[in-house]
């Protein structure tokens, strides 16, 4: 036990009594501070007015010796009060109870009078002693702040450590560590090791276990001292500010700010220090300070500091609040945006909606979808859920899933293997092309027998406009497959075929995947156009990529870089088109089944024009069949004089041109036949007045123009009297001009005479009669064909009607089809030993060599036929192949060159209407050539009657359609002597 001194310096005052009723705090308000306030203001203590504490200055304010005690209530009352308001200071302290008290060490903060504090007593002995003293009606103890251990940094020692070391302190050691000044505390309750203390007044330790109570004096102070007053006001003002700004007590601001002013000075100082967040030493300082002014000053310092902290706290709170509200606002706006987007159907990044969309798309094909693809889709869907919607990775995954789920996995269209139906469709769309159609039908037949059609590569080759692309479309229709066409002409980037890797920005799958997505079935017919014009790859080799795509051995597991899952393309039917088969990369060509379309002869073109092109064009122009007639002669002239190329695209263009013009004529005619208003003017404009427009065959003599100025001009021209007769003839077509006065009408005839107005009626009658006429039929015949398509273009195909000496017609093959060409040889210079040859006409290396070979062979043959003829030895020859602007190459003109040279050497022209082709060896053997069909067609087109082909090409010729061969005298030779005989036979020349 310690012997303690009590101090009255800061005990609670009776002056606080008056505050009680004013507070009006509800009993349920249990905030500790409120309770403190309640205790301070005397609320819940109606009998407080009659109670007295150890107070120093209840009347005069000066600190006196505290030795007074008063008891106004019972012990039971005091306990009841303590329960109702735990911070209320108990009422029954008696001097004998508190002069010697137990000392309780406080580890964290000193206890201020008027406040209560729960502490934990770990020492069982001490706890038993406390309980004992409570039982003995002496429920008081001394609460003292423990000094920090000398040499320790309090900031580094944790609270629990201090507590632990304090509880271990005993006796003298504890005594030495206690601050001298503490608080006399009432033991309000003991529950387990928790003891609740209520501070009463200051105590000072005098000695250990000394029975004598010692008293201390507070320094007296003048209540009316202005400085003390001013300081206290400042403390109050600051406290009010703190209470106002401190968010911790915001709810009770009203209460505190109203009553702080009613505390007396010492208590105000205690209150300020107690509620400030000052550290324990600062609080202890206030507790130890007995000078009221100094104590107020210390408190003011603490509350000012509290004020600053409070302001800082407010700023921090504001900043945080601002940040949070900004984020919240953003979040709210985002949510609203999402809702709006969803409402408008623009929702793009809602992960669940997206996943649901992909799953829904996949659902119908899920059973047919290969497991490895399903697995990838599931993985990607799971990944999508984890990704942030605004991240770029999210977009990549979304696009990838979009493509993956758009492919028609295992979704095939029902193929139709009906051969008869297919034949009908093919015939419906194309005339001729029997070999092509036959091949397609064979393919369908095999499919029917096997039950499935094997993916094949068909290559249609031929000149432009022969219907390669359109037959591809027809095949798709016949097989009931979806059709997709893409051109690889000039394609040099492998990514176009195989796609980009997904890592690239803006990556896309290749054409094949795009095709599958587009057509929606896994067995379309894919037409790869212009495969012979593949570009040179700068990044990879497009030909090899195409090989992977087309080769049935490889395309079962075609891997697109973007999709990254193997796709089975074996069911896809590939049809390629090319103009020149030789330009197709060899490995690709090797896998193709080439079907060549050579071009059309006149007869075929006539059929195509009549039955297909005319029909489709007429329908496209909206013209009825009875409104137009194109005669056979006109069509023939069109084919022979305007559209002589192998294909029919140009023919189609010309037919379209004719029909467009007819449409315009019909519309014009229809408009002019409509009844006209009385004040509209009509003019006798004859068809010759429309120079650019072809005339209607069964036309009326007049056309009416509604434009007044135009009419006037026509009338003026007529009035100038270019042709009087004509003018009088057309006088029925009068011009009606309203009179300036408007009173009557005058008529101006072409002759310029004024006519009587009664003739108007007559004119109207004629017009009405015309309007009732049925629509005129437009005739296109040979004579007016030029009005529709202009003058025929000049064709240099046939330069000579009869080839002169030294000129022979050869046959050539070009990408545009076959054509005839002339080989011309002349003698430039003559003189012994001057034999030489000069060749022109943009000849390629092979053809130049051909000229040399021909020169040698011709010389040998001439020597054989006319041994005395030294023409070749003594003549400088010039060989030319028109047209000079067209590059030419190839060996097939060899025999033609020899014939041309021999012709000039022997001064003999060759047989009329003869054309020949064939490569020649140095010994005069004739080797086979290519393009027999094209060459035959070209020969026919040029009016050739006799053709000489190499013997080896007989087979090719025999395979030609009879209509192509018809009327031609064809000879097959394997030695030049046979050609010599045919070209220079005497009877031929005599015949001529």
**Per CB under 6 A, does 483 bind ligand ATP?**
no
Catalytically active residues are 892, 935
String marking each residue 594-633 x if it binds ligand ATP according to CB under 6 A: --------------x---x---------------------
Residue 433 CB, shortest distance to ligand ATP, in Å, is 5
Task: Tally Cβ neighbours within 10 Å of residue 390.
Answer: 8
Is the distance from CB of 403 to CB of 515 less than 8 angstroms? Answer: no
With respect to ligand ATP, which residue has the nearer C-beta, 666 or 964? 964
User: At what angle are helices 371-386 and 351-362 packed, to 10 degrees?
Assistant: 170
Check whether 657 is labelled as a binding-site residue. Answer: no
Check whether 463 is labelled as a binding-site residue. Answer: yes
String marking each residue 534-573 x if it binds ligand ATP according to CB under 6 A: ----------------------------------------
Residue 617 CB, shortest distance to ligand ATP, in Å, is 10
Phi/psi of residue 236, nearest 5 degrees: -60, -45
**Per CB under 6 A, does 425 bind ligand ATP?**
no
Size of the site for ligand ATP (CB under 6 A): 18
With respect to ligand ATP, which residue has the nearer C-beta, 570 or 650? 650
Sign of CA dihedral 493, 494, 495, 497: positive
**Contact region with ligand ATP (CB under 6 A), list: 55-63, 95-103, 236-244, 468-476:** 468-476
Check whether 462 is labelled as a binding-site residue. Answer: yes
**Per CB under 6 A, does 527 bind ligand ATP?**
no
Q: Which residue is it, tokens 């014939």?
A: 899
End-to-end CA distance of the chain: 161
CA distance 796 to 587: 39
Residue 547 CB, shortest distance to ligand ATP, in Å, is 22
CA distance 314 to 545: 70
Residue 578 CB, shortest distance to ligand ATP, in Å, is 8
Question: Which of 255, 577, 850, 875 forms a contact with ligand ATP (CB under 6 A)?
Answer: 577
Of the candidates 484, 450, 510, 446, the one whose C-alpha atom is nearest the C-alpha of residue 573 is 484
CA distance 465 to 104: 114
| Token digits of residue 842 | 């943009």
| Token digits of residue 684 | 């006798």
**Per CB under 6 A, does 465 bind ligand ATP?**
yes
**Contact region with ligand ATP (CB under 6 A), list: 33-41, 92-100, 542-550, 648-656:** 648-656
Residue 834 CB, shortest distance to ligand ATP, in Å, is 49
| Helices and strands (H and E) in the chain: how many | 38, 28
Question: Which of 99, 106, 302, 433 forms a contact with ligand ATP (CB under 6 A)?
Answer: 433
With respect to ligand ATP, which residue has the nearer C-beta, 430 or 911? 430
Check whether 932 is labelled as a binding-site residue. Answer: no
Residue 432 CB, shortest distance to ligand ATP, in Å, is 5
The secondary structure of 371-434 as a DSSP string is HHHHHHHHHHHHHHHHS-TTSHHHHHHHHHHHHHHHS-TT--------HHHHHHHHHHH-SS-H
With respect to ligand ATP, which residue has the nearer C-beta, 612 or 822? 612
Check whether 687 is labelled as a binding-site residue. Answer: no
Q: For residue 808, what are the β-bridge partners?
A: 823
Q: For residue 182, what are the β-bridge partners?
A: 203
Residue 657 CB, shortest distance to ligand ATP, in Å, is 15
**Per CB under 6 A, does 817 bind ligand ATP?**
no
CA distance 715 to 753: 11
With respect to ligand ATP, which residue has the nearer C-beta, 144 or 431? 431
Is the distance from CB of 198 to CB of 185 less than 8 angstroms? Answer: yes
Task: Tally Cβ neighbours within 10 Å of residue 744.
Answer: 8
Residue 963 CB, shortest distance to ligand ATP, in Å, is 14
215 Rama class: left (phi>0) / alpha (psi -120 to 50) / beta = beta
CA distance 471 to 801: 38
Burial 559-578 (b: 16+ CB within 10 A, else e): ebbbbebebebbbbbbbbbb
Is the distance from CB of 181 to CB of 206 less than 8 angstroms? Answer: no
With respect to ligand ATP, which residue has the nearer C-beta, 10 or 579? 579
Check whether 467 is labelled as a binding-site residue. Answer: yes
| Token digits of residue 431 | 């005339």
**Per CB under 6 A, does 464 bind ligand ATP?**
yes
The secondary structure of 821-835 as a DSSP string is EEEEEEEEEE-TT--
**Contact region with ligand ATP (CB under 6 A), list: 208-216, 293-301, 459-467, 793-801:** 459-467
Closest chain position to ligand ATP (CB): 467
Residue 560 CB, shortest distance to ligand ATP, in Å, is 27
Question: Which of 41, 276, 397, 469 forms a contact with ligand ATP (CB under 6 A)?
Answer: 469
**Per CB under 6 A, does 468 bind ligand ATP?**
yes
With respect to ligand ATP, which residue has the nearer C-beta, 464 or 909? 464
Q: Which residue is it, tokens 């070999």?
A: 435
Residue 426 CB, shortest distance to ligand ATP, in Å, is 10
With respect to ligand ATP, which residue has the nearer C-beta, 238 or 474? 474
**Per CB under 6 A, does 478 bind ligand ATP?**
no
**Per CB under 6 A, does 25 bind ligand ATP?**
no
With respect to ligand ATP, which residue has the nearer C-beta, 274 or 643? 643
User: At what angle are helices 976-984 and 894-906 packed, to 10 degrees?
Assistant: 50
Question: Which of 648, 696, 901, 926 forms a contact with ligand ATP (CB under 6 A)?
Answer: 648
**Per CB under 6 A, does 579 bind ligand ATP?**
yes
**Contact region with ligand ATP (CB under 6 A), list: 424-432, 450-458, 536-544, 775-783:** 424-432
Question: Which of 105, 142, 432, 524 forms a contact with ligand ATP (CB under 6 A)?
Answer: 432
Residue 887 CB, shortest distance to ligand ATP, in Å, is 20
Residue 876 CB, shortest distance to ligand ATP, in Å, is 44
With respect to ligand ATP, which residue has the nearer C-beta, 600 or 949? 600
**Contact region with ligand ATP (CB under 6 A), list: 67-75, 460-468, 477-485, 788-796:** 460-468
The secondary structure of 292-349 as a DSSP string is HHHHHHHHHHHHHHHHHHHHHHHHHHHHHHHHHHHHHHHHHHHHHHHHHHHHHT----
User: At what angle are helices 226-245 and 265-275 packed, to 10 degrees?
Assistant: 30
Task: Tally Cβ neighbours within 10 Å of residue 359.
Answer: 15
**Per CB under 6 A, does 467 bind ligand ATP?**
yes
With respect to ligand ATP, which residue has the nearer C-beta, 648 or 854? 648
Burial 509-536 (b: 16+ CB within 10 A, else e): bbbbbbbbeebebbbbbbbbbbbbbbee
**Per CB under 6 A, does 466 bind ligand ATP?**
yes
3-state percent helix, strand, coil for the chain, nearest multiple of 5? 50, 15, 35
Task: Tally Cβ neighbours within 10 Å of residue 501.
Answer: 11
Q: For residue 596, what are the β-bridge partners?
A: 461
With respect to ligand ATP, which residue has the nearer C-beta, 532 or 913? 532
CA distance 82 to 467: 111
Phi/psi of residue 776, nearest 5 degrees: -70, 150
**Per CB under 6 A, does 476 bind ligand ATP?**
no
Question: Which of 6, 162, 514, 652 forms a contact with ligand ATP (CB under 6 A)?
Answer: 652
Residue numbering of the annotated binding site:
462-469
Residues that bind ligand ATP (CB under 6 A): 430-433, 464-470, 577, 579, 608, 612, 648-649, 652
Binding-site residue set for ATP: 462-469
């Amino acid at each position: 036990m310690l012997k303690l001194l009590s101090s009255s310096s800061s005990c609670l005052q009776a002056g606080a009594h008056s505050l009680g009723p004013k507070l009006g705090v509800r009993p349920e308000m249990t905030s500790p501070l409120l309770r403190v306030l309640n205790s301070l203001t005397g609320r819940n203590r109606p009998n407080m007015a009659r109670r007295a504490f150890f107070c120093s200055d209840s009347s005069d304010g000066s600190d006196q010796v505290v030795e007074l005690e008063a008891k106004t209530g019972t012990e039971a009352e005091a306990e009841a009060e303590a329960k109702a308001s735990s911070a209320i200071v108990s009422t029954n302290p008696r001097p004998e109870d508190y002069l010697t008290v137990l000392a309780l060490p406080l580890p964290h903060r000193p206890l201020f009078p008027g406040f209560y504090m729960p502490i934990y007593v770990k020492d069982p002995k001490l706890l038993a002693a406390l309980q004992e003293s409570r039982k003995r009606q002496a429920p008081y103890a001394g609460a003292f702040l423990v000094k920090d251990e000398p040499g320790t940094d309090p900031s580094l020692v944790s609270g629990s450590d201090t507590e632990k070391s304090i509880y271990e302190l005993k006796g003298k050691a504890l005594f030495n560590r206690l601050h001298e000044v503490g608080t006399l505390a009432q033991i309000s309750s003991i529950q387990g090791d928790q003891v609740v203390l209520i501070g009463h007044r200051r105590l000072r330790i005098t000695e250990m276990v000394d029975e004598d109570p010692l008293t201390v004096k507070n320094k007296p102070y003048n209540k009316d001292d202005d400085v003390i007053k001013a300081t206290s006001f400042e403390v109050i003002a600051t406290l009010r500010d703190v209470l106002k700004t401190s968010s911790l007590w915001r709810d009770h601001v009203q209460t505190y700010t109203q009553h702080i002013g009613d505390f007396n000075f010492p208590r105000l100082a205690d209150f300020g220090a107690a509620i400030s967040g000052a550290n324990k030493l600062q609080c202890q300082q206030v507790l130890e300070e007995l000078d009221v002014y100094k104590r107020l000053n210390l408190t003011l310092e603490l509350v000012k500091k509290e004020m600053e902290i409070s302001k800082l706290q407010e700023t921090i709170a504001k900043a945080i609040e601002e940040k949070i509200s900004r984020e919240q606002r953003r979040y709210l706006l985002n949510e609203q945006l999402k809702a709006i987007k969803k409402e408008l159907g623009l929702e793009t990044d809602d992960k669940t909606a997206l996943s649901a969309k992909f799953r829904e798309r996949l659902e119908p094909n899920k059973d047919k979808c290969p497991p490895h693809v399903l697995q990838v889709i599931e993985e990607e869907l799971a990944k999508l859920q984890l990704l942030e919607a605004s991240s770029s990775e999210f977009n990549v995954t979304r696009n990838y899933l979009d493509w993956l789920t758009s492919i028609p996995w295992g979704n095939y269209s029902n193929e139709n293997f009906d051969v008869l139906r297919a034949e009908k469709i093919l015939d419906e769309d194309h005339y001729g092309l029997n070999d092509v159609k036959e091949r397609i039908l064979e393919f369908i037949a095999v499919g029917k027998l096997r039950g499935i059609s094997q993916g094949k590569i068909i290559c249609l080759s031929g000149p432009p406009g022969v219907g390669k692309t359109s037959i591809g479309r027809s095949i798709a229709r016949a097989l009931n497959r979806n059709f997709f066409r893409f051109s690889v002409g000039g394609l040099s980037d492998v990514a176009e075929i195989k796609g980009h890797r997904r890592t690239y920005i803006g990556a896309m799958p290749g054409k094949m995947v795009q095709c599958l997505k587009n057509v929606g079935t896994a067995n379309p017919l894919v037409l790869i156009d212009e495969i012979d014009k593949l570009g040179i790859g700068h990044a990879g080799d497009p030909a090899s990529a195409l090989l992977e795509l087309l080769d049935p051995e490889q395309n079962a597991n075609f891997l697109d870089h973007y999709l990254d899952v193997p796709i089975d393309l074996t069911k896809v039917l590939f049809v390629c088109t090319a103009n020149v088969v030789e330009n197709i990369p060899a490995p690709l060509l090797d896998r193709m089944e080439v079907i060549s379309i050579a071009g059309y002869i006149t007869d075929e073109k006539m059929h195509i024009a009549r039955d297909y092109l005319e029909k489709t064009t007429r329908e496209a122009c909206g013209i009825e069949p009875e409104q137009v007639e194109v005669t056979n002669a006109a069509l023939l002239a069109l084919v022979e004089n305007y559209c002589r190329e192998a294909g029919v695209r140009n023919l189609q263009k010309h037919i379209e041109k004719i029909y467009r013009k007819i449409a315009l004529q019909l519309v014009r005619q229809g408009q002019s036949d409509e009844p006209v208003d009385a004040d509209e003017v009509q003019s006798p404009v004859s068809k010759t007045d429309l120079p650019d427009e072809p005339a209607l065959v069964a036309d009326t003599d007049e056309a009416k123009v509604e434009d007044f100025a135009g009419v006037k001009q026509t009338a003026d021209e007529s009035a100038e009297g270019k042709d009087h007769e004509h003018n009088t003839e057309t006088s029925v077509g009068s011009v009606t001009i309203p009179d300036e006065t408007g009173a009557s009408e005058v008529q101006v005839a072409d002759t310029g005479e004024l006519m009587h107005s009664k003739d108007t009626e007559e004119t109207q009658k004629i017009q009405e009669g015309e309007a009732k006429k049925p629509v005129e039929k437009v005739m296109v015949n040979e004579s007016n064909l030029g009005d529709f398509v202009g003058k025929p273009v000049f064709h240099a195909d046939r330069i000579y009607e009869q080839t002169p000496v030294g000129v022979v017609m050869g046959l050539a093959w070009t990408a545009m089809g076959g054509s005839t060409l002339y080989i011309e040889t002349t003698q430039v210079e003559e003189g012994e030993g001057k034999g030489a040859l000069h060749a022109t006409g943009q000849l390629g290396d092979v053809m130049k060599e051909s000229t040399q070979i021909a020169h040698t062979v011709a010389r040998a043959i001439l020597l054989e036929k006319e041994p005395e003829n030294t023409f070749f030895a003594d003549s400088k020859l010039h060989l030319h192949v028109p047209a000079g602007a067209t590059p030419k190459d190839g060996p097939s003109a060899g025999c033609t060159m020899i014939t041309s040279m021999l012709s000039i050497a022997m001064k003999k022209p060759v047989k009329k209407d003869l054309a020949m082709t064939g490569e020649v060896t140095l010994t005069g053997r004739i080797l086979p050539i290519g393009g027999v069909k094209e060459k035959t067609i070209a020969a026919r087109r040029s009016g050739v009657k006799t053709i000489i082909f190499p013997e080896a090409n007989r087979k090719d010729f025999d395979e030609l359609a009879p209509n192509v061969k018809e009327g031609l005298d064809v000879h097959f030779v394997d030695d030049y002597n046979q050609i010599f005989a045919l070209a220079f036979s005497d009877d031929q020349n005599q015949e001529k």
